[in-house]
Amino acid sequence: MPEYDINDPTDLDIMKSTFDMYSADDWEEYINAAEAMNMNYKNIKILKTAQRKAGISKYLSPKVIQWVLNLVEKIDSDEEE
C-alpha cells in the first residue's frame, strides 16, 4: 500500500474511498484473521470500529482510516505468505 499523506485532500479522498469499498462482512474476515494472528487488542478493537462504520468513512478520522488500511495491508500480506 502506498504511503498516504493525511494532510493531502487527494490522498484523503483515496483513503476514504478505499475504506468505503469494504463491507461489514469483509471487516469480519479481517477481525477473524487478526485474532488468528494474535494481534494486540488495540488493533482488533479498531478493526471492530471499522466494521461498525463500514461504508461511512466520514465518521472516522484520517488517522484511524490510515491505521485500519495499514492493518488490512499487513493482514493481507501475512495471509499470502
Q: Above 80 in pLDDT, residue 69?
A: yes
Give the pLDDT confidence of 17-67 residue by residue, as tens digits.
Answer: 999 999 999 999 999 999 999 999 999 999 999 999 999 999 999 999 999
List the domain boundaries for the chain: 11-80
| pLDDT at 52 (0 to 100) | 95
Q: HSE (CB half, 13 Å, CA atoms) of 79?
A: 13
Comparison of pLDDT for 20 and 81, the residue scoring more? 20
| pLDDT at 48 (0 to 100) | 95
pTM: 0.89
